[in-house]
Chains A and B, each alone.
Chain A
């Protein structure tokens, strides 16, 4: 099997996923004016109320107008975004409101619609905290990338050009981040998904896993580079990928099994989180086989000097 030979095909496949993601990030940006993703209240601030209603269901406009009545100058909660939740509930997003106001609104819902209203979930985040969380999230991702880069550099210090391994791993990681954020942007555009703290958790986990996978492949390259000193670099890297391929696929499958079980049986509240994890972990395995290791070869051959034309290898 020769994976290295077709490396530009695999780079192209990655772009096929990443470019639509970027397009939708742009579309989201245009729509929200804030950023490439629909941000949840964890980052943006605001309130989310999820209720289950036993009895006659009010209409979306009923709820909207009820909110407007409770809107004040300090808590402007007019025009909430109301969505159905299952068959007998609503999820209502608005500007930040206090627990007190929420209590009044729920009580008013009960009297006005004559139904029993159960609060499933209520979150309220002030915009200042949201903004702070967003900044910290950015730092968390950068810190993770920097720490991992440093670690790989150190772990591969005995190999020639150790920094290449770190950089290639970070590039593969960047690939996975772009895929995950891109998929979130697309799903957010069509399904109205919002990026929340759990999305960030999923993203950081994907970063960890992506590098985890890349290191397994690189470890083989590290080992083989001392064993096959006379073999051409390209051939040696390809051999390393093929040797670790069984393991990559098996691990990929076991993680997929557990995540699929969570998607199918794990309930609504974490489905978004698990789907993002699934996408990211698939991308993580793909990128370590088809991006990270080939990047080493591109670098070794300095292919940018020949306009990314492959040097014909004799494998």
Chain B
């Protein structure tokens, strides 16, 4: 009995807390002694791109499929892309690595996806390429062996494949300087490992040509006059000040450790998103109301109690969505609405048992406890199977940056978890509180008997 009262108090506290979270956009707990906030958080609902409009791009390392990409390289590329994207002035950009060679980038609310993608795609892959004694002309596009295992000397079509000595990943810093003649040039300093490779190479190939290649395009192809052993060098070319500046920035912030290509892009217009929110919220409310009416009609008094539990379920779910926070997508909302149906299932299982036990002539308190213990194995086993599929959906969605699939699995799994709590704890506590003193013989119809 005391135990039950404790549960009741806990439920009341949870409901109050969830109402507070559900109704606010920001929460803050102020320390009364120094008026400083202890906790301050934005708890506004996070909407996915399909609901607020925006661009999602799936980027993939543009290297042959058998090339191994380290986690570090991918993370670095992600950070560089993030910097580049931040320069666009779009707020709330998210970038996440997906699988071992992909990055998912999300840009809420952008209206110019072409520009965003163009900015991202400026891979600015810098390579120092061995040209031997006959350099390719400046401005020409060449093939290099970067990222290729056991490269051939020529491509299938007979083009020469040049050897990449080092890439931009080996660059420490780059800045614009002016030569004695007044021309703009870019000075760079290499990282220690690259310095060694570079020193070795330039010593062995004095008098040969070394091309500086940006995104496979030859920028300049100077002769190696003296070995560069200190890791400091200069790129010359016919640069204007602006060109030199851009190039230096690209080299500094944009020297991606791996080249990147866009393999998937999705743009959702803002109008479609707004309409979707309005419609799915309406559908959710209607669905919930019908279920509430149906339960009350079908199970009478216990049904009404289940309805209260169902409302708790909705409040708790929204609270968790806001606190975690879960990004709500359209399929995510569908998953939540579907889980309302499943939330009811646990109650239905218990109530059907309750009816059976009451028919078998037990008193109400015994019947409630028996119904719970007997319905539990089927509730547990059936929900486990739903959770198993949720896990698989989540893993699938995560690998391909399919945030819609991921969103669905997260909300459905959360829904299942919360519904177990409300069915097991909330409904049971309410039932005992309301019914314990009651005799079945007084009001059999209240139980649908």
Contact = CB atoms under 8 A, between A and B. Distances in A.
Given A98-B262, A211-B382, A212-B383, 16 more contacts: A100-B114, A129-B58, A212-B382, A220-B378, A223-B374, A257-B294, A258-B291, A259-B337, A261-B337, A262-B283, A264-B286, A265-B279, A266-B279, A270-B331, A273-B334, A277-B338
- Top 9 A-B pairs ranked by shortest CB distance? A255-B341, A208-B389, A261-B287, A219-B378, A258-B287, A267-B279, A103-B114, A265-B283, A266-B283
B406 to A, nearest CB: 10
26 contacts: A42-B402, A99-B113, A120-B269, A121-B267, A122-B265, A125-B264, A128-B263, A132-B400, A133-B400, A140-B395, A151-B385, A198-B331, A201-B393, A204-B392, A205-B338, A205-B389, A219-B378, A223-B377, A246-B352, A247-B349, A254-B348, A256-B341, A258-B340, A261-B284, A265-B279, A273-B331
Given A144-B388, A208-B389, A215-B381, A123 B276 contact: no
B334 A257 contact: no
Contacts of A174: none
A99 B118 CA distance: 9
Interface residues of A, number: 73
A197 interface: yes
Contacts, number: 221
B396 interface: yes
Interface of A: 42, 52, 98-100, 102-103, 118-126, 128-129, 132-133, 136-137, 140, 143-144, 147-148, 151-152, 155, 197-198, 200-201, 204-205, 207-209, 211-213, 215-216, 219-220, 222-223, 243-244, 246-247, 250-251, 253-262, 264-267, 269-270, 273-274, 277
A129 B60 contact: yes
Interface residues of B, number: 71
Contacts of A260: 287
Chain B interface mostly: helix
B43 interface: no
B378 A216 contact: yes
B342 A255 contact: yes
B295 interface: yes
Interface of B: 50, 58, 60, 113-114, 117-118, 262-269, 271-272, 275-276, 279-280, 282-284, 286-288, 290-291, 294-295, 298, 330-331, 334-335, 337-338, 340-342, 344-345, 348-349, 352, 356, 374, 377-378, 381-386, 388-390, 392-393, 395-396, 399-400, 402, 404-405, 408-409, 412
B244 to A, nearest CB: 26
Contacts of A266: 279-280, 283, 334
Among B264, B330, B389, chain A packs the most CB atoms within 10 A around the CB of B389
Contacts of B409: 201
Given A197-B405, A251-B341, A216 B349 contact: yes
A261 B285 CA distance: 9
A220 B356 CA distance: 13
Contacts of B264: 123-126, 129
B287 A136 contact: no
B399 A136 contact: yes
Contacts of B283: 261-262, 264-267
A263 to B, nearest CB: 8
A294 to B, nearest CB: 19
A258 B337 contact: yes
Nearest to A211: B385
B410 to A, nearest CB: 12
Contact of A257 (B113, B272, B276, B287): B287
Given A128-B263, A205-B338, A262-B334, A250 B348 contact: yes
A269 B272 contact: yes
A14 B323 CA distance: 45
A291 B310 CA distance: 32
Nearest to A253: B294
Nearest to A169: B385
Contacts of A247: 345, 348-349, 352
